[in-house]
Amino acid sequence: MDLSLSNPTAPTPDCADDGVWLACIDCEWTGAPFDEIRYRCPDCESLLEVRYDDHPTLAEFDADSGHGVWRYADALPVDSGVSIEEGATPLYEVPTIEEEVGVAELRVKHEGMNPTGSFKDRGMTVGVRVAERLGVDRLACASTGNTSAALACYGARAGTQVLVLLPAGKVAAGKVAQASLHGARILEVDGNFDDCLDVVADLADRGEAYLLNSLNPFRLEGQKTIGLEMLEGFRDQTGDLPDRIVLPVGNAGNTAALYKAFRELVAAGELAVDEVPTLTGVQAEGAAPMVEAVEEDRETVQRWADVETRATAIRIGNPVNAPKALPAIRETGGTAVAVSDDEITDAQRALARDGVGVEPASAASVAGLRKLRDAGVVGSDERVVCLTTGHLLKDPDAAAAAGADPEPVPADTAGVLDHLS
Ligand code: F0G
């Protein structure tokens, strides 16, 4: 395994294109990035990642060079994307939760403030541009909802056909509506997300479509920018770097992407290894194969055939990026924790009280922080960032169920006053 914080930068192979190449995370294979479509290593089937001959420091990301994700173009495989101004999301103070949890500093990075309402936009702006470069005519993904909404939107913008496979009856209403209005063909699969991914990966291997799930290494490059923004924003607000990042885990793409961002900052000389924030993953109790693997100190996850949670975005039993994310958690001294659906809803309400509206999966990060702080795993002196991944309106049914009920009143002031008293 080549995914170590202390690894020196690899020498640039002959196949590199403008200082960018693909490498297997497990064996010595390297390949040209834009000549052929590849999702896995041709020699050993393991995951691929994008590598670079050069790694900028944070100061080298020039404010004039682009907006949001594209301000970090020098750390990305292409110079520009199919873009609708993704990234540059807010890093909020959450005073009530900070006080209640009892940590030195707490911020919430709200990825729900992206154009389609989730972090997926950061990966799609890169991935859909790479797809154009590869000359594909159909894009596809399996999704618990947000990936399909983002792909439908960015595919529409690029003028490319989009096919999305969704687990029937298990995708929140806002997300299906987005995929639908942006013009994707929506296939409702009689199975869960992992079944959808098996089928769409097969379709992609047969050349039927270009796969834009987080198995695609280019997508994770865009998602790296979450980590870069977190460090810059936290330092601007507090003068320090965060000690810990707590994030919801489904396919573990963000866990892998944040770790890659930090490894590249170590290679750039920006961060010392011991300054890298501790990555802490949170899953729902009903879908927690990563937590199981971390608790049992295993190198691989075992697929859960049956998964269930109110946080439908992370209703995933086979996290495909586990081979990248398990080293991320281990090497940064992190951990993973499972939370109940009620703990998730309670955290969703707490975030809402601090003015931050998120979907259930996002609130898992805060629920996990509460639990780990109660258990003494997170210390009172820690500086923490929680990642919230999707907007409240993604899942209006969950929000309405967690919130207050509307009160029927008559259509006259006297009747309303009467009701209020
Ligand atoms: N939070 C939200 C709101 C998500 O939509 C997802 C994943 C995650 C967290 C998990 O992120 O996979 O990087 O660990 N949603 C995918 C989808 C699976 O299809 O929209 P991860």
Query: Within a domain: residue 182?
Result: yes
**What single letter denotes the amino acid at residue 34?**
F
| Residue 383 sits in the same domain as residue 296 | yes
Q: Are 166 and 189 in contact (CB under 8 A)?
A: yes
Last residue of a domain, one of 218, 244, 271: 218
Q: Is there an atom of ligand 1 within 6 Å of 252 CB?
A: yes
Q: 295 near 282, Cβ under 8 Å?
A: no
pLDDT in tens, 139-165: 999 999 999 999 999 999 999 999 999
**Closest ligand 1 atom to Cα of 359:** 3
Q: What is the spatial distance between Cα 344 and Cα 143, in angstroms, rounded to a whole number?
A: 21
pLDDT for residue 206: 97
| pLDDT value of position 63 | 76
In degrees rounded to 5, what are phi and psi of residue 113? -90, 15
Q: What is the mean pLDDT of residues 397-412?
A: 97
Beta bridge partners of 357: none
152 and 273 co-located in one domain = no
Domain contains 66:
no
Query: Phi and psi (nearest 5°) for 264?
Result: -70, -35
Of 215, 221, 223, residue with least CA distance to 196: 215
Same domain, 172 and 228: no
Rounded mean pLDDT, 206-224: 98
Give me the residues paired with residue 105 across strands. Answer: 383
Together in a domain, 178 and 229: no
305 to each of 4, 195, 312, 324, 364, how far by Cα in Å? 31, 10, 15, 21, 21
**How far does residue 13's CA lie from ligand 1's centre (Å)?**
33
How many angstroms separate the alpha carbon of residue 183 from the centre of ligand 1?
A: 21
335 lines ligand 1 (CB under 6 A): no
Predicted pLDDT of residue 62 = 81
Give yes or no: residues 268 and 345 share one domain: yes
**112 ligand 1 Cβ < 6 A:** no
Judge whether residue 259 has pLDDT over 80: yes
**Does 74 reside within a domain?**
no
Query: Do the domain assignments include residue 165?
Result: yes
Q: Are residues 244 and 350 in the same domain?
A: yes
Identify residue 141 by its one-letter amino acid code: C
Residue with CA closest to ligand 1 atom 15: 313
365 lines ligand 1 (CB under 6 A): no
Whether 277 is covered by a domain: the verdict is yes
Number of domains, the chain: 2
- Name the residue type at position 97: I
Q: 348 and 249 in one domain?
A: yes
160 lines ligand 1 (CB under 6 A): no
Pocket test for ligand 1, best of 279, 389, 392, 394 (most atoms within 8 A of CB): 389
Ligand 1 site-directed mutation target among 111, 118, 294, most atoms within 8 Å of CB: 118
Instruction: Please tell me whether residues 226 and 246 are part of one structural domain.
Output: yes
Same domain assignment for residues 142 and 225 = no
- Compute the Cα dihedral for 5, 10, 16, 19 and give only its sign: positive
Whether this model's pTM surpasses 0.95: yes
Q: Is residue 61 included in any domain, yes or no? A: no
| Domain end (from 218, 247, 264) | 218
229 within a domain of the structure (yes/no): yes
* Residue identifier of the C-alpha nearest atom 19 of ligand 1: 143
271 C-alpha to ligand 1 centroid (Å)? 27
Task: Identify the band that residue 10 occupies on the pLDDT scale cut at 50, 70 and 90.
Answer: confident
pLDDT at 108 over 80: yes
Do 104 and 162 fall into the same domain? Answer: no
Give the model's pLDDT for residue 8: 63
Which domain covers residue 163, as residue numbers? 120-218
Terminal-residue alpha carbon distance, the chain: 67
Instruction: Give the domain-ending residue among 156, 188, 218.
Output: 218
According to the model, what pLDDT value does residue 5 have?
76
Q: Which residues contact 340 (CB under 8 A, 6 or more apart)?
A: 284, 285
Give the residue-averaged pLDDT of 31-60.
97
Put the strands of the sheet holding 20-24 in their side by side order. 30-31, 20-24, 48-52
The model's confidence at residue 2, banded by pLDDT at 50, 70 and 90, is low
| Mean pLDDT along residues 116-126 | 98
- Regarding whether 261 and 206 lie in a shared domain, the answer is no
Please give the average per-residue pLDDT across 35-64, as a whole number.
Answer: 95
Whether 416 maps to a domain, the answer reads no
Contacts of 296 (CB under 8 A, 6+ apart): none
Task: Tell me, yes or no, whether 308 and 336 share the same domain.
Answer: yes
Q: Which of 116, 251, 339 to mutate to test the pocket of ligand 1 (most atoms within 8 A of CB)?
A: 251
CATH code at position 150:
3.40.50.1100
